[in-house]
Amino acid sequence: MSAINDVEVELSIILGATRLPVREILAMSRGAMIPLDCTQDDPSLVIVNGHTIARGHILVEEDRMSLEITEVIKRRR
């Protein structure tokens, strides 16, 4: 077994973003809708340890969501 197999990384999938004043966040209740700066056709971003490494599209099948990677982003040196 390789020594790196147990190394943990932080992985995030970013669907979109928005900016809201604190007063709007505090006024939210269950079921509140938060508008994002994207459409359903925009790619989601895959972030690993703070670096964008890929783009993809969210897939929904019944009650499960997954991400299909459509582009791997090469790091600039």
pLDDT in tens, 10-49: 999 999 999 999 999 999 999 999 999 998 889 999 999 9
Say if 77 falls within a structural domain: no
pLDDT at position 48, please?
95
Return d(Cα 67, Cα 59) in angstroms, integer: 6
What CATH number does the domain containing 17 carry?
Answer: 2.30.330.10
Q: Tokens 């007063």: give the residue.
A: 23
Question: Which range of residues forms the domain containing residue 11?
Answer: 3-72
Say if 16 falls within a structural domain: yes
pLDDT class of 1 with cuts at 50, 70, 90: low
Say if 12 falls within a structural domain: yes
54-58 own/partner pairs: CB under 8 Å, 24+ apart:
56/13, 58/13, 58/15
Domain tally, the chain: 1
Return d(Cα 13, Cα 56) in angstroms, integer: 9
